[in-house]
Amino acid sequence: MYTEKQVWDPLTRVCHILLILTVVGGWLIGEFRTFSIMQWHFYCGYATGGLVLFRIIRGFSGPTEIRFSSLLHSPHNILRYAATLTNKQPSGTPGHNPLGSLFILLIVAALAGQVVTGLFSKDDALFFSGPLASFVSESTVLSVTSLHNLNSTVILVLVGVHVTAILFYWVWKKENLIKPMITGKKK
């Protein structure tokens, strides 16, 4: 029998929800951009940057379950956990399991990279530039803009993996990972 444990504090849950909104909003505006709404892409990027910075700070000073020290696992532990994925039982791990921990580190890095490259990017079609684009050469702006565009695809893939993993755990392992992000409690 599993008992419920408080694993996600209110700040972690609010940060997660706001990240969903700013990342999805920023992607949608960037993908379907027009001159009249492009400034909102920047606002979403700034908000995402603030949330990522907040998450990084909390990775060193927040609750145990979200600290980077709790997210670092050896390759052996990650592979050992991956071997249990076919078991039809909940993981029983408080916080993130070793694969989930690896994912969190990847998504934080990808989002940080997206924010930084956005600061130096340029959209010639709409005459918009990131606030730091004028401080670097045109060739650097072009390279960073390409990275920004490529990384948006990487983030989409990571989001897809994240949603797929949540559905997999819900259907296969009978472990609801959505409820803990709402209530803070996990079985």
Residue 46 structural domain: 5-186
DSSP letter string, 42-109: HHHHHHHHHHHHHHHHHHHHS-GGGSHHHH---HHHHHHHHTTTTSSS----SS--HHHHHHHHHHHH
Q: How many structural domains compose the chain? A: 1
Per-residue pLDDT of the chain (187 residues; tens, 9 = 90+): 567 888 889 999 999 999 999 999 999 998 888 888 889 999 999 999 999 999 999 999 999 989 999 999 999 999 999 999 999 988 878 889 999 999 999 999 999 999 999 999 998 766 789 999 999 999 999 999 999 999 999 999 999 999 999 999 999 999 999 999 999 888 7
Which residues have C-beta within 8 Å of that of residue 24, sequence separation ≥ 6?
A: none
The reported pLDDT for the residue numbered 2 is: 65
- Concatenating the DSSP letter of every residue in 163-180 gives HHHHHHHHHTS---SSHH
Torsion of CA 126, 128, 133, 138, to 10 degrees: 20
Instruction: Give the pLDDT confidence score for residue 33 in this predicted structure.
Output: 85
State the Cα–Cα distance between residues 95 and 73, nearest whole angstrom: 13
State residue 59's pLDDT score: 95
Per-residue model confidence (pLDDT) at position 93: 83
Contact 33, 123 (CB under 8 A): yes
Say which CATH number the domain at 133 has.
Answer: 1.20.950.20
pTM of the model: 0.92
Distances (CA, A) of 125 to 46, 49, 146: 21, 24, 14
**122 three-class SS:** strand
